[in-house]
């Protein structure tokens, strides 16, 4: 009476049909998770490089005096933000790029502070924690010979959130990307530089 059941169990144990599907089912989740993590890391670093390059290109226009004098002169924060956004290839929402251009006394006094609230300064409402920007946007490109500090920041949304692998560094699930340039303007002359 036990022999047919044992016989069927032996056949089941030796049957290899569907083993590939079972193995794929076991390995699929870690495999696709690893692929997603690689893609996420690549996009974050690529976006950081794009922001850095866009700030470099836009800052060059200040350094050479093209935004303070000449045909390209347009001394507003929004026009400078647009110049940065033109180099972002629509990867970021332009209105969410925070920009501050300021004249500093010298290179030693060019200090950069963290642009977002941290710790107890953040507010929690309904289980959602929000940390506001502390950077005060402004645009003062200076005159010829001035030392200028250009800062640009963006909160990049992250998708993959795994224990041990999590690129977010903000409580709202984003990663802060930033680009900073400090330079001395070339010795150009202008009558209405600020």
pLDDT (0 to 100) of residue 125 = 85
Q: In what order do the strands lie in the sheet with 98-104?
A: 138-139, 98-104, 147-157, 174-184
pLDDT (0 to 100) of residue 70 = 65
Between these two residues, 145 and 124, which has the higher pLDDT value?
Answer: 145
Query: What percent of the chain stands above pLDDT 90?
Result: 55
**Rounded average pLDDT over 15-22:** 77
Rounded to a whole number of angstroms, the CA Rg of the chain reads: 27
User: What pTM was estimated for this model as a whole?
Assistant: 0.82
**Rounded average pLDDT over 38-55:** 95
CA–CA separation, 53 and 179 (whole Å): 9
Asked if 47 contacts 91 with a C-beta cutoff of 8 angstroms, the reply is: yes
Q: What's the pLDDT tens digit per position in 62-121?
A: 999 888 876 556 678 999 999 999 999 999 999 999 999 999 999 999 999 999 988 778
The answer, yes or no, to whether residue 162 has pLDDT greater than 80, is no
Query: What percent of the chain stands above pLDDT 70?
Result: 92
**Rounded average pLDDT over 16-31:** 84
Segment (H or E) for 138 = strand 138-139
pLDDT band at 193 (very low <50, low <70, confident <90, very high): low
Q: How does the average pLDDT of the chain come out, rounded? A: 88
Classified as helix, coil or strand, 173 is coil
The two structure tokens encoding residue 52: 């850095």
């Amino acid at each position: 009476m036990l022999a047919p059941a044992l016989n069927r169990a032996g056949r089941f144990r030796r049957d290899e049909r569907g083993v590939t599907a079972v193995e794929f089912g076991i390995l699929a989740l870690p495999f696709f998770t690893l692929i997603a993590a690689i893609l996420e890391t690549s996009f974050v670093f690529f976006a950081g490089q794009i922001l850095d390059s866009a700030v470099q290109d836009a800052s060059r226009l200040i350094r050479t005096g093209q935004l303070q004098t000449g045909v390209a002169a347009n001394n507003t924060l929004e026009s400078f933000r647009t110049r940065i956004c033109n180099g972002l290839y629509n990867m970021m929402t332009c209105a969410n790029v925070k920009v501050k251009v300021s004249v500093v006394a010298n290179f030693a006094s060019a200090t950069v502070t963290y642009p977002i609230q941290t710790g107890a300064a953040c507010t929690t409402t309904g289980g959602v924690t929000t940390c506001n920007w502390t950077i005060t946007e402004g645009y003062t490109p200076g005159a010829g010979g001035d030392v200028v500090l250009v800062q640009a920041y963006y909160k990049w949304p992250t998708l993959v959130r795994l224990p041990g692998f999590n690129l977010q560094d903000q409580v709202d699930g984003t990663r802060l990307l930033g680009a900073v340039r400090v330079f001395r303007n070339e010795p150009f002359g202008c009558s209405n530089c600020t």
